[in-house]
Amino acid sequence: MTRNSPFPEKSSRAHVLFINDTSRNGGPGQTLLNILKYLDPDRIRRSVMLPREDLVSHRIREWNAAETQIIEPAILENLVQPLSRAMTRQDFEAPLPLLCVRAASNIGRAFLGMVRLVAHVRKQRYDVIFCNGTTAGFIGGLLAALPGMPPVVWHVFYPAVPRPLRPIHRWLAARVKTILCVSQAVSPQFSSCAGKVEILHDAIDLEVFDRAIAANNVGTGSLREELGISDNIILFGAHGRIVPHKGFYELIEVARSLFVTLGADAASQCRFVVIGDTPQDSPVDHLALCREKVRSLGLEGFMHFVGFRSDVRPCLADIDVAVVPSIYPDPLPLSVLESMAMKKPVIAFDMGGIGEMVRNVREGVLLRGTPPDTDGMARACHDALTNREKWRGRGLAARLRVERHFDARPHAAAIQSILLHLAGKEIL
C-alpha cells in the first residue's frame, strides 16, 4: 500500500475508507467521484483505495475529492492479470500453464493484500468503510465478518452475482451494516436481509453537464464536425462499454431495420453513433465485432462506432436522441442520466432500473426487453425522425426529471447522513 499524509482530525469528522474495485472511469468510478466531490470535508475525511492509477485517481486529484489516496494492487480486476500491470486482451491468449500460475499468484496476492488491509484498517481506526462495486463488496464483507471492524456499507450496482458465489454473498450481506441499492431492480437479491437495504438512486453532477450545454450553445459539439454530419441530420446516439449484454448487436439490427424502412434517400436524414470501447479485461473485442457487422450489413456511413472518449459530453451535445439498447437487467446506467442531463430524450428497452429513470412517453419511449423488441425500437426512432418537436419536448422533460430526482448534491448529502449516523457523529 502507498498513501499520502493524513488530513488533520476533527472531533465531528467521520473518517471513511472508500474502496473502489476499478480504476477506470465507468459507472462505479464516476459515481464515486460524484459522491466524493460533494461530501462536506469538514464532516467526512475521505480516504480512497483503488487497485491502480488511472482515470479515477487522476480525477480525484484534479477535483481535490479526497484527502488520501491508497493504491492497493491486490484488489484484483481480473484473476489471470499479470502481477506487474493491468490486464490486456492479449493476456487471455497466454498458455494455460502461465494463466494457472498467474491465477494462483493472484490468489496469494489477494490473501496477503487482505492481511495488509486488516492491519491498515485497525491502525487508521476508520469510522466507516464504504464499498463501491462487486469486488469491493466482497472485500468489505470479509472485513465486516472480523471482530473489531468498523461498520461496512455496500453500494450495489450489480443485478446479481454468479450462482456459485451466491451462498458466500448472502453470508457476507448478513454481516455488513447497510446495503445501498442504486435501483429497485438490484434489491431482490437481498431478500434474506431486506431490513438493512435502502434504495438510493444513483445521480450525476449536473454542473459539469450545464457547462457542456453552455459550450454547445456556442458551437463546440464534436461529433458532427468529426463525422462530417450537418446540423439538420438527426443523430441517434448511444454510449457505454461495448460488451454483449449492453445490446449493441441489437442496436445494429435496429439501425438496419430503420434503414430498410426509410430507404436510402430518406435514411440520409439520420445517423447512428456509438461512443465507447470494449475494456481490455474482456477476452473478446466486441467493438471490433460490431464494426464488422456494420460492414457486413452495408451500414457504413449510416452507423458509426467512434471509440472511447474520456469525456462524452461534447459528443452528447451533438446527438438528438439517446438510444439505450441494454438487454440485461441494467441496474441504473449512467448513460441514461447523462443523456437526460443534456436534454436528450431516451429510447430504451425496459430492463433493470431504466424504467425508474425514464417514464414511457414522457421522457422517451420504453420497449419490451425480453426478447428485445428491435422492430419497436426502430419504429420509435422513425417517430423521432418525423415528429421532432414532440421529441425535443421529451428531452426538456428528461432534463427536468434529472434535476428533480438524480442530482449529485442531494445524493451525496443522503450518503453523508448515512455515514455520519453509522459513525455516531450526527451531532456536532
Q: What is the CA radius of gyration of the chain?
A: 22
- Tracing cell 449510416 back to the chain, one arrives at 302
Cβ contacts of 52 within 8 Å, gap of 6 or more:
23, 71, 73, 77, 86
Confidence at residue 428, expressed as pLDDT on a 0 to 100 scale: 47
**pLDDT for 283 beyond 60:** yes
Residue-wise over 80-118: b if at least 16 C-beta within 10 A, else e? bbeeeebbeeebeeeeeeeeeebeeebeebbeebbeebe
Cβ contacts of 418 within 8 Å, gap of 6 or more:
153, 178, 180, 198
**Chain Cα centroid distance, residue 126:** 26
Is residue 284 very low, low, confident or very high in pLDDT (cuts 50, 70, 90)?
A: very high
Confidence at residue 397, expressed as pLDDT on a 0 to 100 scale: 98
Confidence at residue 217, expressed as pLDDT on a 0 to 100 scale: 66
Give the three cell numbers for residue 52: 491502480
Task: Round to whole Å and give the CA distance between 30 and 76.
Answer: 19
Task: Round to whole Å and give the CA distance between 422 and 14.
Answer: 9
As a whole number of Å, the end-to-end CA separation of the chain is 33
The residues that bridge with 199 in the sheet, in sequence order, are 181
What is the share, in percent, of the chain residues with pLDDT greater than 90?
A: 85
Confidence at residue 412, expressed as pLDDT on a 0 to 100 scale: 97
The Cβ-side half-sphere exposure at 271, using a 13 Å CA radius, reads 21
Q: Which CATH architecture has domain 14-203+407-423?
A: 3-Layer(aba) Sandwich (3.40)
Give the three cell numbers for residue 14: 467521520
Confidence at residue 83, expressed as pLDDT on a 0 to 100 scale: 87
Average pLDDT in the 354-360 region? 97
**pLDDT for 271 beyond 70:** yes
Mean pLDDT check: name the lowest of 4-18, 196-210, 213-227.
4-18
Domains 14-203+407-423 and 206-405 fall in the same CATH topology:
yes
**pLDDT for 218 beyond 60:** no
**pLDDT for 157 beyond 50:** yes
Is residue 8 very low, low, confident or very high in pLDDT (cuts 50, 70, 90)?
A: very low
Q: What is the pLDDT of residues 32-76, one digit of tens each?
A: 999 999 999 999 999 999 998 988 999 999 999 999 999 998 898
Helix 134-144 and helix 166-173, axial crossing angle in degrees, nearest 10? 60
Q: What is the pLDDT of residues 52-64, one digit of tens each?
A: 898 899 999 999 9
**pLDDT for 5 beyond 60:** no
Confidence at residue 28, expressed as pLDDT on a 0 to 100 scale: 85
Confidence at residue 212, expressed as pLDDT on a 0 to 100 scale: 79
What is the CA angle 411-33-188, rounded to 5?
55
Task: Round to whole Å and give the CA distance between 233 and 107.
Answer: 53
Confidence at residue 10, expressed as pLDDT on a 0 to 100 scale: 47
Domains of the chain: which residue ranges?
Answer: 14-203+407-423, 206-405
Task: Round to whole Å and give the CA distance between 329 and 349.
Answer: 10
Mean pLDDT check: name the lowest of 120-124, 126-130, 243-247, 310-314.
310-314
Average per-residue pLDDT for the chain: 93
For residues 22 and 396, which has the higher predicted lDDT (pLDDT)?
Answer: 396
| Strands ordered across the beta sheet of 128-132 | 68-71, 44-50, 14-20, 128-132, 152-156, 178-181, 197-199
Sign of CA dihedral 177, 180, 181, 187: positive
Give the three cell numbers for residue 132: 463501491
Average pLDDT in the 80-93 region? 91
Q: Which CATH architecture has domain 206-405?
A: 3-Layer(aba) Sandwich (3.40)
Is residue 427 very low, low, confident or very high in pLDDT (cuts 50, 70, 90)?
A: low
**pLDDT for 1 beyond 70:** no
Task: Round to whole Å and give the CA distance between 225 and 237.
Answer: 15
For residues 222 and 250, which has the higher predicted lDDT (pLDDT)?
Answer: 250
Q: What is the pLDDT of residues 193-214, one digit of tens each?
A: 999 999 999 999 999 899 878 8
